[in-house]
Structure 1
Amino acid sequence: MPLNPFKPKQRRAIPGFGLTLGITLSYLSLIVLIPLAGVYFKAAGLGWDGLLHTLGSARVLASLKLTFGSALIAALFNAFFGLLVAWVFVRYQFPGKRLFDAFIDLPFALPTAVAGIALTALYAGNGWLGQYLEPLGIQVAYHPLGVVVAMTFISLPFVVRTVEPVLAEAEKELEEAAATLGAGRWITVTRVILPSVWPALLTGFALAFARAVGEYGSIIFIAGNIPMVSEITPLLIIIKLEEFDYAGATAIAAAMLTLSFLLLLLINLFQAWTRRSRNR
């Protein structure tokens, strides 16, 4: 029986694809795309020679290397230990569990200046831990290692809170079946547990890396802010602004934005590739 072309279309209870897509793109453009595009337009005013001169200076390159290198180390460190922390909170019961679970979220709510002061008091030469570490040749405060420590502190919750729900939903029967079939702990971890949490772990790693790259408040207290040694890129941008070098500040910001986007894009592509590999 042919369809009636004059029959009115049934109205959906929720907005359709066209409306929701338009709202999404408009909101994304106003909140994210347009402000970021303004950074590139402002930096473009320097021209290629000005950009190369600003971004090619030893001080800028050293700050970029320190910022992204430290963020990568902190994110990798948290990916490993954050997975262990999430595993303990999901699979085991112990006294004070809820209290320790609440401590995980403290870096979310704690002002970054407070975190920086606390870390400096802890790791300075006369601090609770620093007074024992420095005689051993381990300097944390006012050193690049302090940057890594601060980034690790503020980015840990992103890994734990991303992996925790996935571990909670993982089927324990699969682990028991693997053990019944004679699989050791290493085989069970690598063949059963990790494949199920790998996408969430990559997401947590990406969030931790992005958070660490943009951190400013806690790092400037513990890093010492020594040019070419412990000076991070966000601080260098602030210094440029205080010197009224707005074009130079936006040029460094544009470089930082581009590097962050490319690295996060690579992480997302790798995450998509692992998902496709699992579904084959």
Structure 2
Amino acid sequence: MGYTLLYLGLLVLIPLAALPIKSAELGWSGFWETIAAPRVLASFRLTFGASAIAAAVNLVFGLAVAWTLVRYSFPGKKLVDALVDLPFALPTAVAGIALTSLYAGNGWLGAPIERWLGIKVAFTPVGIVIALIFIGLPFVVRTVQPVLEDIERDLEEAAGSLGAGRWQTFRRVLLPALLPALLTGFALAFARAVGEYGSVVFIAGNMPMISEITPLLIIAKLEQFDYAGAAAIATAMLATSLLLLLLINSLQWWQARRQGARK
């Protein structure tokens, strides 16, 4: 226990504590002035908004992919299972360049989407969401998949024998068991998306007030040798992310306690 706390302090707590300590050089007024700047607020809205949208999309499609891998057999299943982990192994900069080429105005997907739907993907917030969906999907799939594998099929058959339809069986039998894993997958995908840089910076376009993500703004502050300002923005992101993760973990604890009470 003591060694665990020591490692936790050295690897996590002490480095994170350096952010508010460095930002304290600005004082309270300087701190709030930095994070309340219009350009910073716009980057916050884009970063957290795009991350939430991407995590929500991954929640749906991640469950669908996990369900398909667990419940069905089809040619190329092992290949699909391996491809799910591709964002883990692929360097983020490579993913960003590939996505930008694919969704650019003259790309394989970007050109038809822009021509037929009138939607420009690359160098817009839409491209940011797509990049975040790409890097976040494995977190949901790999979190939900083992839980889905452990659910006994007898429960579904029993519900069906009692007259429950597919949707009712999913909502009453499967969803309560999957909900903690879904929340965990959402939290992991969201946390990864908030801090993502390499795969987003190329496709974002980086236009201030439009498609500039907060991690890029932090890099810009560092390049200007404004270390206290960069630490202030990072501290605000850290605090917001911790609060959101605490909320999701509290929901998981509440759900697990409710399920335990039912048993």
Counterpart for residue 197 of structure 2: 216
Following TM superposition, where does structure 1 have runs of at least 4 consecutive aligned residues deviating by more than 3 angstroms? none
Cross-structure match for 2:47: 67
Partner of 2:91: 111
Matches within 5 A, 1:77-96: 77-96=57-76
Gaps of 5+ in 1: 1-20
1:227 Cα deviation after fit: 0.4
2:182 aligns with one of 194, 198, 201: 201
Q: Which runs of 5+ in 2 are unaligned?
A: none
CA root-mean-square deviation: 0.7
Structure 1 CA distance, aligned partners of 2:192 and 2:23? 24
Does 2:253 match 1:272?
yes
Note the C-alpha offset of 1:279.
1.7
Deviation at 1:218, TM superposition (A): 0.7
Give the Cα separation in 1 of the matches to 2:211 and 2:22. 28
- How far residue 118 of structure 1 moved from its aligned partner, in angstroms, is 0.9
Q: Which residue, out of 220, 227, 230, partners 1:249?
A: 230
Question: What letter is aligned with 1:73?
Answer: I
Letter in 2 for 1:74: A
TM-score by length of 2: 0.98
Match of 1:24 in 2: 4
Alignment partners' CA distance in 1, 2:242 and 2:108: 39
* Mapped partners of 2:235, 2:168: distance in 1: 45
Q: What is the CA deviation profile of residues 9-30 of structure 1, one whole-angstrom value per residue up to 9, with x for unaligned ones?
A: xxxxxxxxxxxx2111111111
Aligned to 1:231: 212
Residue in 1 that maps onto 2:30: 50
Superposed displacement of residue 65, structure 1: 0.7
Letter in 1 for 2:250: L
Deviations 1:237-265 (A, max 9, x none): 00000011111000001001001100111
Q: Deviations over 1:114-165 (max 9, x none)?
A: 1011111111100001111112221110000111100000010000001101
Which residue of structure 2 lines up, in the alignment, with residue 99 of structure 1? 79
Which residue matches 2:122?
A: 141
Which letter does structure 2 place at the counterpart of 1:37?
A
> Residue 156 of structure 1 is aligned with which of 116, 126, 137?
137
Q: Aligned partners of 2:64 and 2:217: how far apart in 1?
A: 35
Max Rg structure: 1
- The whole-number CA distance in structure 2 between the counterparts of 1:196 and 1:33 is 33
1:181 alignment partner, one of 162, 166, 187:
162
Q: What is the Cα deviation at residue 95 of structure 1?
A: 0.3
Percent identical among aligned pairs is: 67
SS in 1 for 2:221: helix
Q: CA deviation at 1:177?
A: 0.8
CA distance in 2, matches of 1:181, 1:53: 62
Match for 1:109: what amino acid? A
Q: Where is the helix percentage greater, Structure 1 or Structure 2?
A: 2
Instruction: Give the one of 150, 171, 190 matched to 2:171.
Output: 190
